[in-house]
Amino acid sequence: MTEETRSYPLVSDLIKRSRLTWYWAAAVVTSLLFLLLVLAVFLDGVPSDLLGWEFWRSRLIGILLVTYILAVYEPMRRLRDRAIETFRPLLNLDDEGFNRLAAEVNTPKRRWEWASAFAGVALALVLGQPWTLEYGPGLLWQSVHLVIVGTLMNGLLAWLIYDTVTGAVRVNRLSRRDLKLDVLDTGLLTPLARWSLGISLGFVGGISLSLVFETREGLLRWQSIILYAILVCVTILIFLLSMWSAHRSMMDAKNRKLSLARKRLIAISRELEDHTEQGQLGGLGELSASLTSWANYQRLVREAPTWPFNAGIIRRLLGSIIVPAIVYLIKVLAGVGLRF
pLDDT in tens, 148-198: 888 898 899 899 989 888 888 888 778 777 777 777 776 777 788 788 888
- pLDDT at position 312 is 64
Distance in angstroms (rounded) separating the CA atoms of residues 7 and 210: 32
- pLDDT at position 38 is 87
Alpha carbon distance, N-terminus to C-terminus of the chain: 50
- pLDDT at position 4 is 40
- pLDDT at position 156 is 92
Asked if 339 contacts 219 with a C-beta cutoff of 8 angstroms, the reply is no
For the chain, domain boundaries: 1-179, 181-340
Alpha-carbon Rg for the chain, nearest whole angstrom, is: 27
Residues of the chain predicted below pLDDT 50: 1-6, 336-340
- pLDDT at position 118 is 92
Asked if 112 contacts 15 with a C-beta cutoff of 8 angstroms, the reply is no
- pLDDT at position 339 is 45
**pLDDT averaged over the chain?**
79
- pLDDT at position 310 is 60
pLDDT digits (tens, 9 = 90+) for 266-287: 988 888 887 777 766 666 778 7
Listed residue (113, 160, 141) closest to 10, CA to CA: 113
